[in-house]
Structure 1
Amino acid sequence: MEQQKNSKKALKITLSLFLAVGLIVSLLPFGAAAFWHRVFSFFGLNDFSAAADSSPMSVHVLEVGKADSIFIECGGKTMLIDGGTMDQGESIAEYLDRRGVKKLDCVVNTHPDEDHIGGLAYLIGHYRVGKYFAPDIPKNMIPSSEEYLSAQKALNEKRISTVVPRPGETFSLGSMKIEVLAPVKQGDSTNNNSIVLKLTYGKTRFLLMGDAEKEEESDLLAGGEDLSADVLKVGHHGSGTSTTDALLNAVKPKWAAISVADDSNGLPKREVLKRLLSAGAAVYRTDVSGTLIFMSDGQNIKIKTER
C-alpha cells in the first residue's frame, strides 16, 4: 500500500515538472506542439490531435457538447469557427495549445447564440487574432447575454474590429479557398443569420452550415450557388428544422459531421439521420466519436475520430 502511494506521488511530481517545463517551452520560438507530443508519449497516452501533423489541411470538429467549435489548419495558418459555450473556452484552448497555436489568423462567429459565442471571450484573450468575422444581426436580435457581452468586451480590449462578410466574398487560409455563401439576406432569427462557409482545398470541399435552418437553406438554394461538398457540417446540431432533402440533393455529401451532446432536445433528430443516410452520407457525431478530424491532401479525405 505504501509503495503504491509513493508511486502515485512520484507520478504527480513528474507530471507537475512536465507541466512547469511546458509553460516555459510554450514561450519558446519553436512552440509547444512537439513538447506536448512528447509528454503524451512519456505517459503512454495518445496525443489524438497529432494525427493531423502530416496533413497539409485539416478540419477539427471539436467535442464541445451541444455546441459548435471548429478548428482549421492549412499551410501553417489557423482558423477558428465558433467557441462553444462559455465553460468550453479553456478546453478549446488546451486543444489549440497541443496543436502549437500562437495566433488565430481568422476567427468566425457564425451567429451570437450562447453555444457558439460563449467561449470566444476566453479564446480572444488567450491568442493573437488576425481577423474577426461575425454576421450583421438585426438590432432587435442582438443578445444581451453574458456570453455575447463578454466577447464584445474582449474584442474591444484587444482593439479588434468586427468584419461583416458578404455573400460572394472569398478569402484564403494558406492555399485553401474560403467562400462566404450566407446569410444571403437578414433572416427571422439568429440561426437564420448564420454565416455559411464553403472551404475548397484542391479537389476537396467542406460546407459548414452553422445553425442555418430550412429558411436560410432555401435562400441558399434559390441563389444558385454550387453547394456540392464532400463533407457537410450539419446545421443546428441535427435539429429537424435543418438539413432538408433539398439541401442534401444539392450538397451530395460523402460525410456528415454533427456537433451534439445528449440533452432534452433529443438531437440529432431521427428524421435528420434518415435523410442523411438516404443521401448516402456517412454520419459522424461528436457525442459518439468525440472530436472529429477530417484531413485532406487536396485529392482525398481521411477521417480520424477521438474514440
Structure 2
Amino acid sequence: MRNLRWLIFCFLLLLSSPYKASSETKPLTLDFIYVGDGDSILIQTPEFHSILIDTGNLLSGFDVVEHLKLQGIRKLDALILTHPHLDHIGGVFAAMRLFKVTKVFDNGEAQDGDGVYKDISRWYRQLVRADPNYEELYQAKELRFGDLKIRVLWPPKQRVYSDWNTNSLVLQLQYGAFKALLMGDANKATEKALIESKLILDETLSLLKAGHHGAKDTASVKFLKKSKAKIVLISSAIDSPKDYPDSRTLKRYQEHGATLFRTDEGGTIRFEAYPSGSLHVIQNGKIEVF
C-alpha cells in the first residue's frame, strides 16, 4: 500500500506541471511526508533551495530519506528540528549522513532522559549541536531563501515553560500572498502565549500545520478565530496508537470552516503555493485548486 501511494504521488507531480506552466512564476512546494505519528516537511523554493523541517522517527526517517532522493535532492540548505521528541528528530541521523547540510537549526531545548533515550540525546548533541553550522532558533529570528521568508514566532530566548511541546518551534512562512503557520508540537499553552504576545494577529492564513498531530491539547477556539486558517494539515498515523487526531479537535477545525487534509488519509501530501496566494494540493490521487 505504501509503495502504491508513492507511485501515485510521483505520477501526480507530473500531472501538476500544466498548473506550473500557466503561472507567471514557479510555485513554492511543501511536501508533508507521511511518517506516521511524527512530522517531516520538505520545502523547495523556485530558486532551488531545499529546506527540511523535522525528520520523522528512527524508522520513518528512512522514508524521509527516500522521498528526498526521489526529488533529486543531494543538499539541504537548511535542516530545522522543532524540538527533541523522537518522532521529530529520529531521522536526523540518516539525513545528516546521507545529505550535505548547509545549516542545521533547532530550538536549543535542554535534553534529558534515561536508558536508550539518554544515548540518543548524546548522539544527537554530538551530531547536531556539535556541527560547526549549527544555530539555535528562537523568537524574532528570520531566515530567507529567495522570496521565501521564515520567521520564528516561538519560543522566546528566555524560556517560560519547561514542557518540550510547549517550547516547540513555531514558524511563520510567507511567499508573496501565501502565508502558512507551522506549529510543530505546540499546544494550547503555546497558542495562548502567541495571542497574548500579539504574534498571532487577525489575519487569514493560507495554511495551518496543526500542532501536536491534532491532539486534544491543541486548537483552542480563540486561536482558530485569530489565525483564520483556510486549510489545515494534520500529520498523523494510520490507526494511530495515540488516537491522533482527537475527534473534538477535528470538530473545532470543522466548525471553524477549515478544509482538512490528513496524512493518515492521504499519505504524503504536496502543497504548491503561488505568490498570488493560490494553492494547489496533490494528494490521494487528486489535484485540488484553492
Please give the range of the TM-score, normalised by the shorter of the 2 chains.
0.7 to 0.9
Equivalence for 2:4 = none
Structure 2 Cα separation of the partners of residues 45 and 136 of structure 1: 35
Equivalence for 2:217 = 241
- C-alpha displacement at 1:47, in angstroms? 3.5
Given candidates 214, 236, 247, the residue that maps to 1:270 is 247
Query: 1:157-197 CA distances to partner (integer Å, 9 max, x unpaired)?
Result: 8x344311121121212211111000133423111110000
Does residue 194 (structure 1) correspond to residue 165 (structure 2)? The answer is: no
Given candidates 108, 115, 122, the residue that maps to 1:149 is 122
Q: Tell me, yes or no, if the aligned pair for 2:112 and 2:118 is still in contact at 8 Å.
A: no
Q: CA distance change for structure 1 residues 68 and 85 in 2, over 3 Å: closer, same or farther?
A: same
Q: Name the SS for the 1:304 alignment partner.
A: strand
Cα RMSD, aligned residues only? 2.3
Structure with the higher fraction of residues in helix conformation: 1
Equivalence for 2:144 = 172
Aligned length, in residue pairs = 264
Equivalence for 1:303 = 281
Equivalence for 1:259 = 235
Q: Tell me, yes or no, if the aligned pair for 1:180 and 1:197 is still in contact at 8 Å.
A: yes
Does residue 79 (structure 1) correspond to residue 43 (structure 2)? The answer is: no
Equivalence for 1:65 = 36
Query: 1:249-280 CA distances to partner (integer Å, 9 max, x unpaired)?
Result: 11111100000012232111111111111111
Does residue 117 (structure 1) correspond to residue 89 (structure 2)? The answer is: yes
Given candidates 96, 103, 106, the residue that maps to 2:75 is 103
Q: Tell me, yes or no, if the aligned pair for 1:195 and 1:210 is still in contact at 8 Å.
A: yes
Counterpart amino acid of residue 105 in structure 2: F
Q: Tell me, yes or no, if the aligned pair for 2:185 and 2:211 is still in contact at 8 Å.
A: yes
Equivalence for 2:61 = 89
Residue identity over aligned pairs, in percent, reads: 30
Structure 1 Cα separation of the partners of residues 113 and 227 of structure 2: 29
Equivalence for 2:288 = none
Q: Tell me, yes or no, if the aligned pair for 1:49 and 1:98 is still in contact at 8 Å.
A: no
Equivalence for 1:7 = none
**Which one has more relative contact order, counting CA pairs under 8 Å at least 6 apart?**
2
Equivalence for 1:129 = 101
Q: CA distance change for structure 1 residues 139 and 121 in 2, over 3 Å: closer, same or farther?
A: closer
- C-alpha displacement at 1:223, in angstroms? 0.8
Q: CA distance change for structure 1 residues 156 and 210 in 2, over 3 Å: closer, same or farther?
A: closer
Counterpart amino acid of residue 302 in structure 1: H
Q: Who wins on radius of gyration, i.e. which is larger?
A: 1
Counterpart amino acid of residue 73 in structure 2: V
- C-alpha displacement at 1:292, in angstroms? 1.0
Query: TM-score by structure 2 length?
Result: 0.84
Q: Name the SS for the 2:186 alignment partner.
A: coil
Equivalence for 1:287 = 264
Instruction: Give structure 1 stretches of 5+ with no counterpart.
Output: 1-39
